[in-house]
Amino acid sequence: MGTRGFKKPERDLQMSSNDFVIRANNLSKCYQIYDAPHDRLKQFTLPRMQKLVGIKQEQYFKEFWALKDVSFEIKRGETVGIIGRNGSGKSTLLQLICGTLTPSNGTVEINGRVAALLELGSGFNPEYSGRDNIYMYASVLGLSTEEVDKRYEKIVAFADIGDFIEQAIKTYSSGMTMRLAFAVIAHVDADILVIDEALAVGDAIFTQKCMRFLRRFMEFGTVLFVSHDVNAINNMCQQSIWLSDGEIRMFADAEKVSKEYTQYCNQEVYGESVKLNSIKKPKVLDDKSKQTRRR
């Protein structure tokens, strides 16, 4: 998603320390991994029988901790980036914040309405029309039918997908699906927006429309922005959370986190001794050199 010319708002230093919208305290999420389908049945039945007869209860699954003791606080009006490699726990954290997952340990407190644009098409029923999905998605986000009625025309105008609004979502391109999803979350009076890189599938004109909306929203609302693009993080965010193997490796100023994260990624590729500015850029040949080489 392009962010050229995007100016991030200055942080309000007079804000109360208690004016938080998201607070995570030792937040953890564990998944049970089974080697075979029958192990799930064993886990459901055998430990109970073992307990009844007084023998040691066996465990028929492996534990995978997607998040481990994550703690942080985000205040109202802040824009925070979340970066990390695939499998670092970003999606799990966002789903816990949005309430689509429950934590295994710890707590997450949310003060305000959350609207999320995560996996493309999530929240939509592909068999239903765009019109029907607007009402269903907005109701999930907390609006009544009457409230959606009042905003429907603005949502349709923002999405700008023409007559496709009456067609089933399964006939939409990825860009059209993203347009409709963003149009809905832009009109539900959210306090917190959770945005991932789904915006990347939009065309340049619509992306600029989204950025204008985000610029206005960031004046009073809170944004969590997930991206692999450190330049986008730096342009949009005041702070960043770097997740690694389910843990917070760093939570600090966005540019500082991006620099450390880039250094880490370069070391993974080029070796431990590499420095951030030591990687040589590919040599660009001028026209004269190209002609000489072709000879």
Question: pLDDT 10s digit of each residue in the chain, 295 long?
Answer: 444 344 454 444 334 446 889 999 999 999 988 888 887 888 788 877 877 878 877 787 888 999 999 999 999 999 999 999 988 999 899 999 998 899 999 999 999 999 988 766 677 999 999 999 999 999 988 899 999 999 999 999 999 999 999 999 999 998 899 899 999 999 999 999 998 866 666 678 888 888 889 889 998 899 999 988 888 889 889 999 999 999 999 999 999 999 999 999 988 887 766 555 554 444 444 555 445 444 4
For residues 164 and 257, give the distance between their C-alpha atoms in angstroms, rounded to a whole number. 42
For helices 174-185 and 145-159, give the axis angle rounded to 10 degrees.
130
Return the CATH number of the domain spanning residue range 20-112+191-270.
3.40.50.300
pLDDT at 6: 44
Domain with CATH 3.40.50.300 in the chain: 20-112+191-270
For residues 23 and 26, give the distance between their C-alpha atoms in angstroms, rounded to a whole number. 10
Q: Among all chains, which residue has been given the structure tokens 């997740």?
A: 243
Rg (CA), the chain: 23
Q: Is 194 helix (H, G, I), strand (E, B) or coil?
A: strand
Whole-number Cα distances in Å, 102 to 82, 168, 249: 20, 31, 23
CB-based contacts of 47, cutoff 8 Å, min separation 6 = 57, 58, 59
Return phi, psi of residue 115, to 5°. Answer: -125, 130
For residues 1 and 259, give the distance between their C-alpha atoms in angstroms, rounded to a whole number. 20
Task: Name the pTM for this structure.
Answer: 0.78
